[in-house]
């Protein structure tokens, strides 16, 4: 990647306030929840879920992940 090109695959969901910076490659079926952010030069592989208020540091490559949430009763 480089040169300011950001590419986004198919069937992605970007919720309110999410942000994708420059030079990012986002593959297919990626979900970025509310206020999630991806910094520059990252690669986000297929089926990744980035939780709300999460930040992904620059130059990071993310594979398939599972989002776990702490429940409070």
Is residue 55 part of the annotated active site? The answer reads: no
Long-range residue pairs from 39-47, CB within 8 A, at least 24 positions apart, any chain:
41/1, 41/2, 43/1, 46/9
40 is catalytic: yes
Residue tagged active-site, from 40, 46, 47, 51: 40
Identify the active-site residue in 4, 17, 19, 22.
Answer: 22
- Give catalytic status of residue 47 as yes or no: no
Active-site annotation, residues: 22-23, 40
């Amino acid at each position: 990647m480089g040169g300011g090109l950001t590419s986004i695959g198919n069937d992605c969901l970007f919720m309110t306030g999410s942000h994708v910076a420059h030079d990012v490659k986002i593959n297919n079926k990626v979900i970025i929840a509310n206020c999630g952010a991806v910094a520059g030069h990252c690669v986000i592989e297929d089926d990744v879920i980035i939780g709300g208020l999460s930040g992904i540091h620059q130059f990071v490559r993310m594979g398939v992940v599972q989002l776990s949430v702490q429940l409070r009763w």
